[in-house]
C-alpha cells in the first residue's frame, strides 16, 4: 500500500469510528509475512517455586537479553508474588522472585505485571498492587480491593530491582490512582514520551460497576520519573461493550489505534479506538467487526516492517480459550488468519498472550497454558516472521 493510500485508509477509518459507523471497508493488501513456529517450551512447571502462574509478560532489553515475568499464586491472594526467568541459549532459567506485595503493605497482593525497556532508559517492571480478596459476613460474593500501579526499575537486565514506588494519583479515575498497563505494554513515541494503554477495571473492583469499563491512557514525559493521566475514553454507546486491556498499534505519522478485550458475553467483535495526535485524544470506543476474539486478553503489536499482528482466542469456532491464533493486518482494519500458536486439539487452554519482536525479526510469545484440569504454567513460543534482523544492534 502506498503512503497516500495508507493515509487515506487511516483517515476514513477515523471518520467512520468517530461517527459510530460499522467498519466494513476494503483496502489493497500488501505482501504478508511468512509465519512458522520455530520452537515451543514451558518456562515454568507446576512443581517448582513460582511455577503455577498467569498473565506473563516478555521483553528484550537493549543489551539483547530476553526476560519473562508473571504472577504466581492464587488470584488476589496475599501470597501471590511476581516471578521472572531469563532466556539464554534456547533455555529458560529457574524462576526467581522479583516482587512481593508486602514490599508495599502487609498481606498485599499483586498481579498483571508488565516489562518495558524504553530507549536510553532503565528496564521497567509495572505491577498492580492492593489488598487481597475477601467476603462479607452473610454474603457469598467475593469482593476485591481497588488496585493501583507500582513501578520498579533495573539497571542490570532484571538481576536486581529498585524499591517499588506508586505511579501517582488520578482523581479523574475511579479509585483515584494511576493504574499503569493492564495487559499490554507501553509504546515510546518519537519525542521520548512513554504512552501507557490502560483501563479502569482495577479501580472498579470494589464498586463492581462493570458497566463503567472503558479505556484510558497514561504517560511519562521524563523517562518514567513521573506519570500522569492523558485521556479517558468516553463511555461506549453500546451498553453491551465493556472495553478493557487495550494495546496500541502504530498506523504511521501521528496516527495510533488501540485494540482491547470486551468483558462481555454479548459480542465477539474487538473494541477499538483511534488517535490522530499521538495519543493525546482518542475516539469513542467502537467495534472492529472483522476481528473476533473471545472474552479474554488479546495482544496487538506493530512489527518493524509496519505489519500489524494480534494474538487472539478465537470463538465461537473453538472453545473459549482452547485455540490461540495469530492474526495479521496491513492497515489495522482488515485482518486475516496468520498461524495457530496453540490448537484446541492439544486438550489444553491458552490464556493471556503477550509478545515481543526481537532484534532478529522473530516473535516471542508467552501465555498461560494448561488451565484445565490443573493450574496454568507459563509457555513460550518463537515464531519466524520472514522479517530481516535489525542491523547494528542487539536489542529492540
Q: Report CA dihedral (259, 261, 264, 270) to the nearest 10 degrees.
A: 30
Q: Does residue 17 surpass a pLDDT of 50? A: no
What is the rounded average pLDDT of the residues 105-117? 97
Q: Does residue 282 surpass a pLDDT of 70? A: yes
Per-residue DSSP letter, 210: G
pLDDT in tens, 69-83: 999 999 899 999 999
For the chain, list the domains and their CATH numbers.
Answer: 3-384 (2.120.10.10)
The whole-angstrom separation of Cα 25 and Cα 203 is 36
Which of 197-201, 254-258, 305-309, 318-322 shows the lowest per-residue confidence on average (mean pLDDT)?
A: 318-322
The whole-angstrom separation of Cα 207 and Cα 145 is 9
Q: Minimal CA–CA distance to 34: which of 388, 389, 387?
A: 387
- Mean pLDDT of all residues belonging to the chain: 89
% of the chain exceeding 70 in pLDDT: 89
Q: Does residue 390 surpass a pLDDT of 90? A: no
The whole-angstrom separation of Cα 114 and Cα 123 is 11
Q: Minimal CA–CA distance to 256: which of 242, 236, 276?
A: 276
Whole-prediction pTM value? 0.90
Q: What is the pLDDT of residue 206?
A: 84
Q: Does residue 50 surpass a pLDDT of 70? A: yes
% of the chain exceeding 90 in pLDDT: 74
Q: Does residue 275 surpass a pLDDT of 60? A: yes
Secondary structure element (H or E) that encloses residue 18, with its range: helix 3-18
Q: Is 90 exposed, middle or buried (0-12, 13-18, 19+ CB in 10 A)?
A: exposed
Q: What is the pLDDT of residue 23?
A: 35
pLDDT in tens, 221-255: 999 999 999 999 999 999 889 999 999 999 999 99
pLDDT in tens, 156-176: 999 999 999 999 999 999 999
Q: What is the pLDDT of residue 188?
A: 98
Q: Does residue 32 surpass a pLDDT of 70? A: no
The whole-angstrom separation of Cα 82 and Cα 320 is 26
Q: Report CA dihedral (394, 91, 323, 58) to the nearest 10 degrees.
A: -40
Report residue 24 as a C-alpha cell: 466494513
Amino acid at each position: 500500500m502506498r503512503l497516500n493510500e495508507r493515509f487515506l485508509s487511516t483517515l476514513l477509518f477515523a471518520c467512520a469510528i468517530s461517527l459510530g459507523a460499522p467498519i466494513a471497508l476494503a483496502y489493497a493488501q500488501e505482501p504478508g509475512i511468512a509465519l512458522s513456529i520455530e520452537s515451543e517450551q514451558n518456562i515454568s512447571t507446576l512443581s517448582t517455586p513460582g511455577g503455577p502462574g498467569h498473565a506473563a509478560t516478555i521483553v528484550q532489553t537493549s543489551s539483547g537479553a530476553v526476560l519473562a515475568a508473571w504472577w504466581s499464586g492464587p488470584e488476589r491472594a496475599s501470597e501471590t508474588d511476581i516471578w521472572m526467568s531469563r532466556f539464554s541459549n534456547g533455555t529458560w532459567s529457574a524462576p526467581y522472585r522479583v516482587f512481593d506485595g508486602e514490599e508495599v503493605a502487609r498481606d498485599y497482593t499483586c498481579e498483571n505485571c508488565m516489562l518495558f525497556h524504553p530507549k536510553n532508559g532503565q528496564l521497567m517492571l509495572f505491577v498492580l498492587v492492593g489488598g487481597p480478596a475477601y467476603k462479607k459476613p452473610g454474603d457469598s460474593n467475593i469482593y476485591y480491593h481497588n488496585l493501583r500501579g507500582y513501578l520498579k526499575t533495573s539497571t542490570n537486565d532484571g538481576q536486581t530491582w529498585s524499591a517499588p514506588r506508586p505511579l501517582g494519583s488520578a482523581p479523574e479515575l475511579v479509585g483515584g490512582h494511576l493504574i499503569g498497563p493492564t495487559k499490554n505494554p507501553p509504546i515510546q513515541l518519537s519525542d521520548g514520551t512513554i504512552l501507557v494503554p490502560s483501563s479502569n477495571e482495577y479501580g472498579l473492583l470494589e464498586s463492581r460497576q462493570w458497566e463503567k469499563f472503558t479505556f484510558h491512557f497514561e504517560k511519562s514525559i521524563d523517562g518514567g520519573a513521573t506519570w500522569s493521566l492523558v485521556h479517558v475514553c468516553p463511555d461506549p454507546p453500546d451498553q453491551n461493550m465493556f472495553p478493557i486491556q487495550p494495546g496500541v498499534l502504530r498506523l504511521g505519522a501521528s496516527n495510533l489505534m488501540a485494540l482491547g478485550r470486551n468483558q462481555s458475553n454479548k459480542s465477539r467483535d474487538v473494541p477499538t479506538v483511534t488517535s490522530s495526535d499521538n495519543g493525546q485524544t482518542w475516539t469513542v470506543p467502537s467495534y472492529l467487526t472483522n476481528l473476533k476474539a473471545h472474552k479474554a486478553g488479546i495482544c496487538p503489536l506493530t512489527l518493524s516492517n509496519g505489519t500489524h499482528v494480534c494474538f487472539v482466542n478465537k470463538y465461537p469456532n473453538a472453545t473459549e480459550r482452547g485455540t490461540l491464533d495469530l492474526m495479521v493486518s496491513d492497515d489495522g482494519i482488515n485482518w486475516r488468519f496468520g498461524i495457530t500458536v496453540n490448537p484446541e486439539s492439544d486438550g489444553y487452554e491458552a490464556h493471556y498472550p503477550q509478545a515481543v519482536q526481537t532484534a532478529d525479526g522473530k516473535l516471542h510469545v508467552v501465555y498461560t497454558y494448561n488451565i484445565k484440569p490443573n493450574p496454568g504454567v507459563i509457555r513460550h513460543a518463537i515464531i519466524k516472521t520472514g522479517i530481516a534482523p535489525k542491523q547494528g544492534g542487539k536489542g529492540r
